[in-house]
Amino acid sequence: MFDESKDVSNIEQFGAMVRMKDDQGNVLVLFLDLQDLQIEVTIDGTASFTGRKNGMIQKLCDEFPWILPFYSCNHRLQLALQEATNDSNNLNLKKVLGSTEDICSYYQGNVKRHEALKQIHKINDEEDMIELQGPSVVRWSMYLQLVNSIPRELPSIRYHLESVKDHNPIANGYFLIINKKDFIFHLVILQTVQSIIELTVKIFQQHCIDLSESIPRIQTLKDRLAILEKDDITSKEYMEEFEDDQNE
């Protein structure tokens, strides 16, 4: 265990200890001397720990070369991706992502509505429905399953919402959202972006690439998100191409 603190003189200190139980179940705490032991340090990637020149880990390694640091690049990756997806230029994208999550919860959280989707599949002589999948617990790729499952179930969802919207204000609201002409377009963009995020994560995990060495990849992701900026000509061109494909 490591504990960073300051004493009464406001001098920063860094303590290392081992906490264990003996055969009788008594908790023992042993304070360690970094100079005498091979120390492994596992950190979550915060800048104060991992700065290349002045980070705490770098200073420790300069002083004690036998320290073995382990970095969680996924944590830093998640922060970078979160910054990209929360950019103010991507308001429309964020709205659609939130709407898809709400629609998924609308059916997953109610057995009756979920069963209604199954019945629609049976009426149309279709195969068993594709289960809607909400956000996963993995933060850096949590929306990939969501944005991939919603479009495939959209015809059944639209049919059900239309049948109940007259006496259900919530269903009516969702029905209006999914019938906007740019809803599917934004879903396609979300699928592309989330796939890139998933691919980036796999590359990081398999090859232990440092985030600072992959800034161009992160910048590419942010550039793709930026096409949805209001009044951006690129977004308009994408929309026109998408509508042409739909008409064909």
Shared domain for 104 and 149, answered yes or no, is yes
Say if residue 56's pLDDT is above 60. Answer: yes
Shared domain for 89 and 149, answered yes or no, is yes
From 71, 98, 124, give the residue that closes a domain.
Answer: 71
Q: Which residue has the tokens 């800034």?
A: 215
Query: CA-to-CA distance for 132 and 160, rounded, in angstroms?
Result: 15
Say if residue 36's pLDDT is above 80. Answer: no
Shared domain for 176 and 234, answered yes or no, is yes
> What pLDDT does residue 9 have?
45
Shared domain for 225 and 195, answered yes or no, is yes
Say if residue 40's pLDDT is above 80. Answer: no
Shared domain for 95 and 8, answered yes or no, is no
Shared domain for 82 and 28, answered yes or no, is no
From 71, 98, 122, give the residue that closes a domain.
Answer: 71
Query: CA-to-CA distance for 200 and 197, rounded, in angstroms?
Result: 5
From 54, 71, 88, give the residue that closes a domain.
Answer: 71
Q: What angle do CA 69, 73, 78 make, to 5 degrees?
A: 145
Q: Do strands 68-71 and 40-43 pair parallel, antiparallel, or not at all (unpaired)? A: parallel
> What pLDDT does residue 98 have?
86
> Which residues pair with residue 108 across a beta bridge?
none
What global pTM score does this model have?
0.54
Mean pLDDT of 217-244: 55
> What pLDDT does residue 132 have?
79
Q: Which residue has the higher pLDDT, 101 or 248?
A: 101
> Tell me: the pLDDT tens digits for 119-173?
888 777 666 666 777 777 666 667 888 888 888 888 888 889 998 999 999 999 9
> Tell me: the pLDDT tens digits for 161-210?
998 999 999 999 999 999 888 888 888 888 888 887 777 777 766 655 55
Shared domain for 49 and 93, answered yes or no, is no
The structural domain count of the chain equals 2
Shared domain for 142 and 39, answered yes or no, is no
Shared domain for 117 and 141, answered yes or no, is yes
Shared domain for 8 and 126, answered yes or no, is no
Shared domain for 127 and 158, answered yes or no, is yes
Q: Which two tokens stand for residue 154?
A: 């959209």
> What pLDDT does residue 69 have?
67
The domain containing residue 51 runs over which residues?
2-71
Shared domain for 112 and 175, answered yes or no, is yes
Say if residue 38's pLDDT is above 60. Answer: no
